[in-house]
């Protein structure tokens, strides 16, 4: 066997739905061999005995706000936080950076910012808004992973919602580009005006029916136009069911949920306050537990963070409706999920699939998300004998706070490797790690 750059020896490798003790050989940033007791020589060995070796996480839903709102988050801090949590690549949303990513010029600005400061590989989502139909093709040519649209107000004026006519025209064009549309599915017609200023009023103003109606409508237009569709941050069990039924009928649609819908119900807002505000809001205990069952049953394939941070100031105040809506949490996704999964007898392989493999496959990140020969050497070495809690002092976000503070976590990051290079090790970020733009392959 030829010489390798690195061999990760003796770890419990989470691959293909199982966990087996094998070595992982790496050459030129890619996985060159996976097998027991590799005999090849290597420039460097890492002893992973007793550790789990996961595929590097793929977080397709983050808002790093760079350029433009870098007081909320930056690509440097966001990518470092992800690396600390076992992630090796991310796809950044077209908002809340400024300018929003709805033109090729805005894409170029974000690309420049990411090339300068991301320690992880990255993809870029383009936006679909009412006035940029003429820009979709050039965004696709630049290499966006796909497009994102809102069916209700997004929370920022620069990124307006699409009505049915714009969605239909956008989906036609996105289908022609062989790309994918992501939608924030809440039907504005089913949202209620505030009846007060508390968290209960907020939850009541955004009922689950709004999600179901929007999913139904988006699926109908996808079916009509032949556009690939993905529903972001589904908050209810029935929402996932609607997507799964449509998929069984042959419509090319998928869905994700986020850790916060698996961890919390709306009554947790009583103690979380503004840190737990997001849209859609947290739901019932039945929904929370139902989503876990759907994960176990394979009906719910993807969990991504929807990391949407802001300054602490914007999360505090007497009127819940006026607070920034978004959860800061991408650093803790895998460790939070592993803690709760263990109690539900859901194994690490299911978490690896939901946080890496299935995400990469759905969005055409062809070299990402698996520990297998030919894939990028993106690995998370985790010590699952260690439990802990999310602590503010460990968070690497630009603004060090999170809804998850104090929550139990399972697993400790020993090392995060991106294309064979160390991005995070022993509690420290390697700032010399440099990410590359990922383009979709379908
Ligand atoms: Zn989001």
Give 230 Cα–ligand 1 centroid separation in angstroms.
13
Give 301 Cα–ligand 1 centroid separation in angstroms.
18
Mean pLDDT of 6-14: 98
Confidence of residue 422 (pLDDT cuts 50, 70, 90): very high
Confidence of residue 125 (pLDDT cuts 50, 70, 90): very high
The yes-or-no verdict on residue 1 having pLDDT over 70 is no
Give 415 Cα–ligand 1 centroid separation in angstroms.
27
Give 441 Cα–ligand 1 centroid separation in angstroms.
23
Give 146 Cα–ligand 1 centroid separation in angstroms.
14
Give 370 Cα–ligand 1 centroid separation in angstroms.
25
Question: Could you list which residues have their CB under 5 Å from ion ligand 1?
Answer: 306
pLDDT score for 45: 96
Give 258 Cα–ligand 1 centroid separation in angstroms.
10
The yes-or-no verdict on residue 411 having pLDDT over 70 is yes
pLDDT score for 302: 98
Give 359 Cα–ligand 1 centroid separation in angstroms.
15
Give 260 Cα–ligand 1 centroid separation in angstroms.
12
The yes-or-no verdict on residue 18 having pLDDT over 70 is yes
Give 201 Cα–ligand 1 centroid separation in angstroms.
22
Tens of pLDDT along 159-186? 999 999 999 999 999 999 999 999 999 9
Give 50 Cα–ligand 1 centroid separation in angstroms.
36
Give 149 Cα–ligand 1 centroid separation in angstroms.
11
Confidence of residue 292 (pLDDT cuts 50, 70, 90): very high
Give 408 Cα–ligand 1 centroid separation in angstroms.
24
Give 63 Cα–ligand 1 centroid separation in angstroms.
6
Confidence of residue 2 (pLDDT cuts 50, 70, 90): low
Give 307 Cα–ligand 1 centroid separation in angstroms.
7
Give 396 Cα–ligand 1 centroid separation in angstroms.
19
Give 92 Cα–ligand 1 centroid separation in angstroms.
9
Confidence of residue 433 (pLDDT cuts 50, 70, 90): confident
Give 228 Cα–ligand 1 centroid separation in angstroms.
19
Mean pLDDT of 81-86: 98
Mean pLDDT estimate for the chain: 97
Give 93 Cα–ligand 1 centroid separation in angstroms.
7
Beta partners for residue 183, in sequence order: 149, 231
Mean pLDDT of 68-86: 98
The percentage of residues in the chain with a pLDDT greater than 70, rounded to a whole number, is 100
Give 196 Cα–ligand 1 centroid separation in angstroms.
25
pLDDT score for 124: 98
Tens of pLDDT along 349-368? 999 999 999 999 999 999 99
Give 349 Cα–ligand 1 centroid separation in angstroms.
26
Give 52 Cα–ligand 1 centroid separation in angstroms.
30
pLDDT score for 442: 84
Mean pLDDT of 99-105: 98
Is pTM beyond 0.95? Reply is: yes
The percentage of residues in the chain with a pLDDT greater than 90, rounded to a whole number, is 98
């Amino acid at each position: 066997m030829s010489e390798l750059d690195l061999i990760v020896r003796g770890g419990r490798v989470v691959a293909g739905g199982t966990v087996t003790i094998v070595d992982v050989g790496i050459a030129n940033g890619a996985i060159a061999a996976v097998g027991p007791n590799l005999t090849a020589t290597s420039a460097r060995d890492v002893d992973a005995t007793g550790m789990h070796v996961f595929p590097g996480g793929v977080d397709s839903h983050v808002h790093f706000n760079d350029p433009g709102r870098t007081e909320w988050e930056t690509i440097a801090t966001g990518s470092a936080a992800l690396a600390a949590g076992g992630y090796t690549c991310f796809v950044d949303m077209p908002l809340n950076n400024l300018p929003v990513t709805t033109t090729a010029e805005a894409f170029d600005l974000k690309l420049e910012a990411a090339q300068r400061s991301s320690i992880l590989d990255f993809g870029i989502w383009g936006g679909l808004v009412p006035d940029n139909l003429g820009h979709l093709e050039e965004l696709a040519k630049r290499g966006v992973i796909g497009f994102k649209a809102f069916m209700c107000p997004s929370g920022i004026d620069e990124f307006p919602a699409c009505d049915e006519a714009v969605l239909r025209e956008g989906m036609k064009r996105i289908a022609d580009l062989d790309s994918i549309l992501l939608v924030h599915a809440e039907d504005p017609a089913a949202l209620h005006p505030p009846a007060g200023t508390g968290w209960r009023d907020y939850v009541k103003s955004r009922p689950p029916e709004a999600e179901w109606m929007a999913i139904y409508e988006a699926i109908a237009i996808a079916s009509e136009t032949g556009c690939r569709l993905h529903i972001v941050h589904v908050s209810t069990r029935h929402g996932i069911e609607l997507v799964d039924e449509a998929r069984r009928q042959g419509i090319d649609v998928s869905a994700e949920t986020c850790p916060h819908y698996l961890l919390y119900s709306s009554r947790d807002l009583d103690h979380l306050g503004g840190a737990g505000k997001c849209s859609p809001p947290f739901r019932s205990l039945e929904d929370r537990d139902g989503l876990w069952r759907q994960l176990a049953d394979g009906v719910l394939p993807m969990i991504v963070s929807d990391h949407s941070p802001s300054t602490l100031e914007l999360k505090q105040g007497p009127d819940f409706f006026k607070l920034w809506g978004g959860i800061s949490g991408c650093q803790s996704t895998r460790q939070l999920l592993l803690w709760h999964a263990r109690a539900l007898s859901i194994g690490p392989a299911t978490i690896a699939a939901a946080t890496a493999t299935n995400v990469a496959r759905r969005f055409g990140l062809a070299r990402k998300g698996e520990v297998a020969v030919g894939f990028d050497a993106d690995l998370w070495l985790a010590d699952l004998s260690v439990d802990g809690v999310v602590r503010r002092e460990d968070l690497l976000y630009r603004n060090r706070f999170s809804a998850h503070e104090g929550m139990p976590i399972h697993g400790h990051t020993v090392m995060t490797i991106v294309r064979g290079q160390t991005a995070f090790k022993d509690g420290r970020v390697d700032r010399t790690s440099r990410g590359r733009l990922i383009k979709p392959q379908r």
